[in-house]
Structure 1
Amino acid sequence: MALEAITGYNPANPVYHLPAVPARYRTTRAAAEVELRAPNALNAARDAAIAAQWEHHNLILGVTDQVIAQFGADSDEIASLGLKKKSERRAPVGSGKDSK
C-alpha cells in the first residue's frame, strides 16, 4: 500500500492511523462479497419457490385424476373441486359446412 511507503505518517486524528486503512479495506471487500452473492441466493430461492409451485400443481392434477377415477367425471365430487361435470360441458359444434 502506498501509504506505508510514506515515512513519518502520523495523523492527528487516530481514526486515520495506518492500521485502520487495511482493516477498513477488508471490511469493504467483505461487504462487496456479500453483495455479489446476494443475487445468487435470490435466484436459488426463486428456483426453490418455482419448484415447490410445480410440485403443488402436479399434486393437484393427481388429486383431480384420483377423484375422477374414484367418483367419475360426472360426479358432484368433481364439481366440488371447481371443475365442470362431464354432462355440463357443451357438445362440440361442427364447422357449419355441409359435408359431401
Structure 2
Amino acid sequence: MTNVSENTRVNPKQVQKDIESYHAFGSMTDYRANNTAHSREAADAAYETLRAAEQHAVTTQAAASAAADALTAARRDFHGIILGIKNEARALYGPSSDQVAALGLKKKSEQTKRVRVKKEVVAE
C-alpha cells in the first residue's frame, strides 16, 4: 500500500527531489527493506516506469504540437485559397452575380450604403 493518495498531484519540483533521493539511495549498498513495496527492486522498477512515462509524455506532446501546427497551416492555406476563389468569382462573374452570392458574399447591389453624417457646427 502506498503512502500517497491517488488524488495527490506531485509537482515537478518534488519529482526532481525524489529523483535526487533515488540516486542517493543507489549508494546505500547495505539497505534492506522490511516491506517489499519499499525494496531496491521496487524503487528501480518505479524509476524506470517514471522515465518511460516521461519519455512517452514528451513524445506525445511533441506529436500533438506538430499536429496542431499542421492543422493551423492547413486551415490558413485553405482559407487563402477560398479567399482567392471569392476574388476570382467577383472578377469573373461580376460583383452583383448569383455566383458571388452562392459563395456566401453579398451582392454589391444588396450592400448597404454608408451614410455620412454631417457634423453640425455649433455657433457660439
Give the TM-score taking structure 1 as reference length: 0.70
Counterpart of 2:58? Answer: 36
The alpha-carbon deviation at position 89 of structure 1 amounts to 1.0
Q: 1:91 to 1:28 in 2, by over 3 A?
A: closer
2:68 to 46, 66, 74: 46
Match for 2:30: what amino acid? I
- Structure 1 vs Structure 2 CA RMSD: 2.9
Q: What is the SS of the residue equivalent to 2:96?
A: coil
The alpha-carbon deviation at position 76 of structure 1 amounts to 0.9
The alpha-carbon deviation at position 52 of structure 1 amounts to 0.9
- The percent of aligned pairs where both chains have the same amino acid is 35
Match for 1:81: what amino acid? L
2:98 to 76, 88, 91: 76
2:114 counterpart of 1:96:
no
Q: Encode CA deviations 1:5-46: one digit per residue, 9 max, x unaligned.
A: 238x6x9x7x99866754553333122111233333222211
User: Gaps spanning 5+ residues in structure 2: where?
Assistant: 1-25
Q: Encode CA deviations 1:33-90: one digit per residue, 9 max, x unaligned.
A: 1123333322221111111111111111011011111101111110111211111112
User: Gaps spanning 5+ residues in structure 1: where?
Assistant: none
Counterpart of 2:83? Answer: 61
Q: 1:2 to 1:69 in 2, by over 3 A?
A: same
| Whole-angstrom distance in 2 between the partners of 1:39 and 1:69 | 45
| Whole-angstrom distance in 2 between the partners of 1:20 and 1:82 | 64
1:27 to 49, 54, 69: 49
Q: Name the count of aligned residue pairs.
A: 95
